[in-house]
Amino acid sequence: MSVDLSLYLVTDSTPAILKGRDLCSVVEQAIQGGVTVVQYRDKSNDTGALVETARKLHQVTKKYNVPLLINDRVDVALAIGAEGVHLGQDDMKFEQAKQLLPKDAIIGISTSTVEEAKKAVADGADYLGIGTMFATPTKTNTKSVIGTAGTQIILDAIKDSSVGTVSIGGINHSNVQRVIYQSKSSQKSLDGVAIVSAIVAADDPKASAQKFAELINNAPRFA
Within 83-112, the residues that bind Mg ion by CB under 5 A are 88, 91
Closest CA to 216 of 188, 168, 167, 181: 181
Choose, from 6, 73, 110, 206, the residue flagged as catalytic.
Answer: 110
Separation CA 19–CA 9 (nearest Å) = 17
Contact segment (CB under 6 A) with ligand TZP among 20-28, 131-139, 183-191, 214-222 equals: 131-139
Separation CA 138–CA 8 (nearest Å) = 16
Separation CA 17–CA 13 (nearest Å) = 7
Closest CA to 8 of 110, 149, 159: 110
Does residue 191 belong to the site contacting Mg ion (CB under 5 A)? no
Nearer to Mg ion, 195 or 209 (CB): 195
Q: Cα 166 from chain centroid? A: 7
Choose, from 56, 118, 139, 184, the residue flagged as catalytic.
Answer: 139
Least separation in angstroms between CB 121 and ligand TZP: 19
Using left for φ > 0, alpha for ψ between -120 and 50, and beta otherwise, residue 37 falls in beta
- Whether 139 sits among the annotated catalytic residues: the reply is yes
Task: Answer whether 106's CB lies under 8 Å from 90's CB.
Answer: no
Least separation in angstroms between CB 71 and ligand TZP: 8
Q: 193: helix, coil or strand?
A: strand
Does residue 175 belong to the site contacting ligand TZP (CB under 6 A)? no
- Whether 41 sits among the annotated catalytic residues: the reply is yes
Separation CA 21–CA 207 (nearest Å) = 16
Within 17-56, the residues that bind ligand TZP by CB under 6 A are none
Least separation in angstroms between CB 201 and ligand TZP: 7
Contact segment (CB under 6 A) with ligand TZP among 59-67, 132-140, 154-162, 208-216 equals: 132-140
Within 144-173, the residues that bind ligand TZP by CB under 6 A are 168-171
> 149: which residues sit within 8 A by CB, 6+ positions away?
none
Least separation in angstroms between CB 139 and ligand TZP: 4
Does residue 12 belong to the site contacting Mg ion (CB under 5 A)? no
Which residue ranges make up the site for Mg ion (CB under 5 A)? 72, 88, 91
Give the residue numbers annotated as catalytic, written as ranges.
41, 110, 139
